[in-house]
Structure 1
Amino acid sequence: MPSDSRLSRMLHVLIHMDRIAEPVTSETISRMLDTNPVVVRRTMAGLRAAGYLTSVKGHGGGWTLAIPLDKVTLRDVHEALGNPKLFAIGLADDNPACLVERAVNAALKEVLLEAEQRLLQRFGEVTIGALSRDVAFPEGWLKHRPR
């Protein structure tokens, strides 16, 4: 099962957008992420609906931050992306009548639920602004960004 990298990719984009401080087109973002602009628009739409981004169509338009990154947590972005599954680990359903399978599933379900709750709690404690301050952009970076 492939991993879901949307959270990581959107954090990447949001930090770049904050540093650029001007509208960024879907085409520019698609080059950053090596994906299609349609995929960018679809993914960014959830962030716009949650109030973290705005978008303007046409010449001079693009995506902009609607609020400072210090007010947005990792959990906020995770939720705006539709709460993608956090773990690839799943429960077996080969033989629901098997007592062993049911016991294993019950134990795993409890542990996975606890781990998910802890992870989401931690996501809620980390702002993207704090994450952004940990990034050391080199001098002249803005001149060499994707256009």
Structure 2
Amino acid sequence: MNRDTRLSDVLHVLLHMNQVDEPLTSEVLSRSMGTNPAVFRRTMAGLRDAGYVRSGKGHGGGWQLARPLHEITLLAIYQALDRPNLFAIGNRSRHPDCFVEKKVNAVMAATLAEAEALFARRFGEITLDEIAPSKLVPVSVQTKT
């Protein structure tokens, strides 16, 4: 099963963006994410729309943080990425006729909802400044780590 690494990738990039005061190009930041600039821009669009980053075009343009790290939570980034699926677990069918399957679906739904609520609560408590390392390697020399 393929894992969705967008949240991890974006957190990585945001922490590197915090290192510098000038805008960083999509080309530079996409290398840090291990993708191409067009995919990077699509991935970052939700963060820009939510006001966590800003981007400028042309000479001297690029991406910058629009807010300090202490104002951005992990939950906010997760939501700006359009809430990637947390679990690959699913029901056999959404509208079962079988009584047993209905019970299984109900238990799974309740348990997954509880896990998602815990995830949201904890991610809402963690700000990016809490996970930023004290010393970072400049993004211009970074490869996907």
Identity score, percent: 50
In structure 1, distance between residues paired with 2:139 and 2:123:
32
- Runs of at least 5 residues in structure 1 that lack an aligned partner in the other structure: none
In structure 2, distance between residues paired with 1:144 and 1:123:
29
Given that residues 28 and 146 in structure 1 are in contact (C-alpha distance below 8 angstroms), is that contact kept between their aligned partners in structure 2?
no
Q: How many residue pairs were aligned?
A: 143
- Matched residue, 2:67: 67
Given that residues 10 and 33 in structure 2 are in contact (C-alpha distance below 8 angstroms), is that contact kept between their aligned partners in structure 1?
no
- Matched residue, 2:4: 4
Greater relative contact order structure (CA < 8 Å, 6+ sep): 2
Instruction: Give 1:142's aligned amino acid.
Output: P
- Matched residue, 2:138: 142
CA distance 1:40–1:143, shift in 2 (3 Å): closer
Q: What is the TM-score of this pair, normalised by structure 1?
A: 0.90
Given that residues 91 and 105 in structure 1 are in contact (C-alpha distance below 8 angstroms), is that contact kept between their aligned partners in structure 2?
yes
Runs of 4+ in 1 over 3 A off after TM superposition: none
Offset at 1:98? 1.6
CA distance 1:98–1:82, shift in 2 (3 Å): same
Q: What is the RMSD of the two structures over their aligned residues, measured on CA atoms?
A: 1.9
Residues 23-34 of structure 1 aligned to structure 2 (within 5 Å): 23-34=23-34
> Given the alignment of the two structures, is residue 38 of structure 1 paired with residue 38 of structure 2, yes or no?
yes
Given that residues 3 and 88 in structure 1 are in contact (C-alpha distance below 8 angstroms), is that contact kept between their aligned partners in structure 2?
no
Moved more, 27-36 or 94-103: 94-103
Residues 1-147 of structure 1 aligned to structure 2 (within 5 Å): 1-93=1-93, 96-132=96-132, 135-137=133-135, 141-142=137-138, 145-146=141-142
Q: What is the TM-score of this pair, normalised by structure 2?
A: 0.91
Offset at 1:142? 2.8
In structure 2, distance between residues paired with 1:144 and 1:39:
19
